Structure 1
Amino acid sequence: MTRTITRSYDSYAIAADVVEKLETAGIPASDISLVGRNERGEESNAAEGAGIGAGVGGAAGLLAGLGMIAIPGIGPVVAAGWLAATAAGAVAGAAAGGLVGSFINAGVDEEDAHYYAETVRRGGSVVSVKTSESQAPAAEAIMDGATPIDRDARLAQYRQEGWSRFDEKAEPYRATAPVI
């Protein structure tokens, strides 16, 4: 039986490090996905996105295939793997669901799918792994060892701000700078 394990991280660098550790542990790159906001800003292009991956991930197999896609409601994201390919296909084909639909199709429940999409929209990164039951404990140890975002606490924060679910028709999120 195959399981899908997904975790979100506050930074792309942490997520890329997790991907590299998963590959080093023997999980095939084809079973790992990474989707995250471009930390260099909206004006960046696909070449810069690939440069981010190369700089962070070095020789990691998954990151070698890194590219940029634009997802409705999120904007440009750095993406690689099966989840990214599914989301890109949905966007290119104007299929319903986009990133949320890709998560749901991968076995993530709907509430979590909306949470993960919103996390990417707000600048986080998501790593998702398809793995066998025998590899699941090792994958979870690697992913949890990188201190993922506390889903429940973050959902509470989002809801306190009035959020209820990811809206792909919304403008990409832009954090406001704190007033000093």
Structure 2
Amino acid sequence: MRTVTGLFDDYDDARDAVRELGEAGVPSDDISIVANNTGDRYSTDDSDAGEGAATGAGLGAAGGGVVGLLTGLGLMAIPGVGPVVAAGWLAATAAGAAAGAVAGGAAGGLIGALTDSGVDEEDAHVYAEGVRRGGTLVTARVDDTLAPEAEAILQDRNRVDPAARRGIFAQEGWTRFDDNADPYTLEQVQRERERYRSMMP
């Protein structure tokens, strides 16, 4: 098994990537999505943060595969990131850390889950920071034989180059994700989204 990961500036690209991964044969239980929800963009009536995310994490199988995963997004908060909607195995790890009431545990759980599954630690910090700034993270555990196709799906859907994005963050003095940092405000998130949209070819 390998882990393929993509950070997306546009939630629609991330959602399409999740759908295409499912169509390629990746089981919904092996796909995760974590999206910044500053401004309540993806809110549901379910406002129980940790429980909502844990519920969403299990809905992929119960709610019709990948479609269920996407409609079963649960709400939660990650220290340093702020409010997110999330589903899947990565979300369940972060929700479990948040429920443990350890300060910063959810962020540690997110980065720890990524690195434990084979994601480079520097990239994991970029991914967490990217979600903090308004992005959406898609992560899938795939068989080695499916890995090239899964990587191509993420690339075709405008996945962010983590090295290039790390360079942009570093120009501002950023070195790594800090779970004690203030979450971005809606205005800051919107500014970040516009900034990256203007960089698109």
TM-score by length of 1: 0.85
Match of 1:162 in 2: 173
Alignment check: 8 A CA contact 1:71 1:98 kept: no
User: What is the DSSP-based 3-state SS (H/G/I as helix, E as strand, rest coil) of the residue aligned with 1:114?
Assistant: helix
Distance 1:42 1:134 in 2: 38
Distance 1:73 1:43 in 2: 18
Name the stretch that deviates more: 62-71 or 96-105. 96-105
Match of 2:5 in 1: 6
Q: Is residue 60 of structure 1 aligned with residue 59 of structure 2?
A: no
Q: Please give the residue correspondences for 1:106-145 in structure 2 after superposition, counting only pairs within 5 Å.
A: 106-145=117-156
Distance 1:144 1:118 in 2: 20
Name the stretch that deviates more: 94-103 or 116-125. 94-103
Going from structure 1 to structure 2, the CA distance change for 1:86 and 1:8 (only over 3 Å counts) comes to same
User: What is the DSSP-based 3-state SS (H/G/I as helix, E as strand, rest coil) of the residue aligned with 2:111?
Assistant: helix
Going from structure 1 to structure 2, the CA distance change for 1:90 and 1:48 (only over 3 Å counts) comes to closer
Q: Please give the residue correspondences for 1:161-180 in structure 2 after superposition, counting only pairs within 5 Å.
A: 161-174=172-185, 175=188, 177=191
Q: Please give the residue correspondences for 1:69-84 in structure 2 after superposition, counting only pairs within 5 Å.
A: 69-84=76-91
Number of residue pairs the alignment of both structures matches:
169
Alignment check: 8 A CA contact 2:8 2:159 kept: yes
Q: Is residue 24 of structure 1 aligned with residue 35 of structure 2?
A: no
Offset of residue 43 of structure 1? 8.4
> Which structure 2 residue ranges, 5 or more long, are not aligned?
57-65, 195-201
> Which structure 1 residue ranges, 5 or more long, are not aligned?
54-58
Q: Percent identity over the alignment?
A: 52
Amino acid at match of 1:67: G
Distance 1:110 1:133 in 2: 21
User: What is the DSSP-based 3-state SS (H/G/I as helix, E as strand, rest coil) of the residue aligned with 1:60?
Assistant: helix
Amino acid at match of 1:155: R
Kindly provide the CA deviation profile for residues 38-88 of structure 1, in whole angstroms up to 9, marking residues without a partner as x.
26x1587443899xx9xxxxx713213211110001111010100010011
Counting helix residues as a fraction of each chain, which structure ranks higher?
2
Amino acid at match of 2:7: S
Q: Once superposed, what is the RMSD of the aligned Cα atoms? A: 2.4
Correspondent of 1:148 among 133, 153, 159: 159
Distance 2:40 2:73 in 1: 17
Alignment check: 8 A CA contact 1:69 1:88 kept: yes
Amino acid at match of 1:47: D
Alignment check: 8 A CA contact 1:118 1:166 kept: yes
TM-score by length of 2: 0.76
